[in-house]
């Protein structure tokens, strides 16, 4: 992590990156062995996962502002997998990308502090290589505060789960409270409260919110409740979310959200193709075009 990263607010860095690349989009790095191109077939599984992830970064770096490595896809291979996750995240930052570590951690406060040290800050500031981390709010805000303090001290960002893209989230996050709010709206209010102390010059907080592209009916109310949160919007493409569905996640000036897609971009090739990175590049450009169109 450079000195300038520490002093430069994460939300401002993300907004600048989106502006300079021409659209607020993110490519999720979710490498899965049986979906990799045939040309990587001769390698050991974890070596294939690393090569694939690094080639995806190379294929998209010129076109998109951000990537989101999904830690589960690496951690399932144990310590070697974790080391690959670190190298992939670092390669993303070295390619000039804003790297969102997708780890969805959250625990009682004391344990969250350990997660924050390891995944967000890095022991001895060795840095795990990410600019922001996804965190799980559903243990309550005291589970998020240690991440928030660590992020504020190191110029990093967070995206807190508010309204997730999966169907099962409806039965919990959609429940109505006595005061008429949904559970997701109550969580949104708490995220907005916690985040309001750490704003960048863009007016956005280092604490952003995850709002699924598959829940367009909730986006209007959540956008109003969290005016200072950048929304990280998964569920686009493979899970059915469309460009129209994510429109309400943005503010009228076109800021306030970043749309992320994994499978629809990184597996956009025919496995037999040796020039598969070209198809990944093309899919990233297409994602960018779709989002730029709704914002124009």
Ligand X SMILES: O=C(O)c1cc(=O)[nH]c(=O)n1[C@@H]1O[C@H](COP(=O)(O)O)[C@@H](O)[C@H]1O
Binding positions for ligand X, rule: CB under 6 A: 28, 30, 70, 102, 104, 134, 164-166, 210, 212, 234-235, 237-239, 261-264
* Helix, strand, coil share of the chain (percent; to 5): 50, 15, 30
Q: What torsion do the CA atoms of 26, 88, 39, 288 make, to the nearest 10 degrees? A: 10
How far is the C-alpha of 247 from the C-alpha of 171, rounded, in Å? 24
> Least Å distance between CB 206 and ligand X?
17
**Cα–Cα distances in Å, from 139 out to 110, 135, 231?**
13, 10, 20
Based on the number of CB atoms within 10 Å of its own CB, is 190 exposed (0-12), middle (13-18) or buried (19 or more)? middle
Q: Which of 9, 16, 6 has the alpha carbon at shortest distance from 207?
A: 9
Tokens of 230: 């950048």
Alpha-carbon distance values, 19 to 207, 252, 258 (Å) = 20, 15, 11
Q: Which residues pair with 69 in a beta bridge?
A: 29
Strands (E), 43-150: 66-69, 98-105, 132-135
Write down the least CB distance from residue 276 to ligand X, Å: 17
Q: Which of 21, 104, 156, 288 is catalytic?
A: 104
Look at residues 250, 272, 277, 271 and name the one whose alpha carbon lies nearest to residue 25: 250
The least distance separating ligand X from the CB of residue 1, rounded to whole angstroms, comes to: 22
The least distance separating ligand X from the CB of residue 210, rounded to whole angstroms, comes to 5
CB nearer ligand X, residue 8 or residue 263: 263
Cβ nearer to ligand X, comparing 30 with 198: 30
Q: Which residues contact 62 (CB under 8 A, 6 or more apart)?
A: none
Torsion, Cα of 284, 288, 289, 292 (10° steps): 180
- Interacting residues of 43 by C-beta distance below 8 A, sequence separation 6+: 51
Q: Which is nearer to ligand X, 203 or 242 (CB)?
A: 242
Residue 149 designated active-site:
no
Q: Which residues are part of the catalytic machinery?
A: 104
């Amino acid at each position: 992590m450079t000195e300038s990263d520490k002093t430069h607010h994460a939300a401002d860095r993300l907004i600048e990156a989106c502006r300079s690349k021409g659209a607020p989009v993110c490519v999720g790095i979710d490498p899965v062995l049986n979906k990799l191109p045939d040309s990587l077939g001769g390698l050991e599984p974890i070596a294939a996962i690393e090569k694939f992830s690094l080639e995806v970064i190379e294929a998209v770096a010129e076109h998109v502002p951000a990537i989101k490595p999904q830690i589960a896809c690496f951690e399932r291979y144990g310590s070697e997998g974790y080391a690959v996750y670190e190298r992939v995240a670092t390669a993303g930052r070295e390619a000039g990308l804003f790297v969102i570590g997708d780890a969805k951690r959250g625990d009682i406060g004391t344990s969250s502090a350990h997660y924050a040290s390891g995944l967000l800050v890095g022991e001895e500031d060795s840095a795990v290589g990410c600019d922001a981390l996804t965190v799980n709010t559903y243990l309550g805000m005291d589970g998020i505060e240690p991440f928030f303090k660590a992020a504020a001290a190191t110029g990093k960002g967070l995206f807190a789960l508010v309204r997730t893209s999966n169907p099962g989230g409806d039965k919990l996050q959609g429940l109505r409270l006595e005061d008429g709010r949904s559970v997701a709206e109550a969580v949104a209010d708490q995220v907005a409260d916690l985040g309001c102390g750490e704003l960048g010059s863009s007016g956005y907080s280092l604490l952003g919110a995850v709002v699924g592209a598959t829940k367009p009916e909730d986006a209007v109310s959540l956008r109003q409740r969290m005016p200072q949160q950048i929304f990280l919007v998964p569920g686009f493409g493979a899970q059915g979310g469309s460009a129209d569905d994510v429109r309400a996640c943005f503010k009228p000036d076109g800021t306030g959200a970043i749309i992320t897609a994994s499978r629809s971009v990184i597996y956009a090739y025919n496995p037999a193709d040796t020039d598969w990175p070209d198809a990944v590049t093309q899919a990233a450009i297409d994602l960018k075009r779709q989002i730029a169109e709704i914002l124009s």
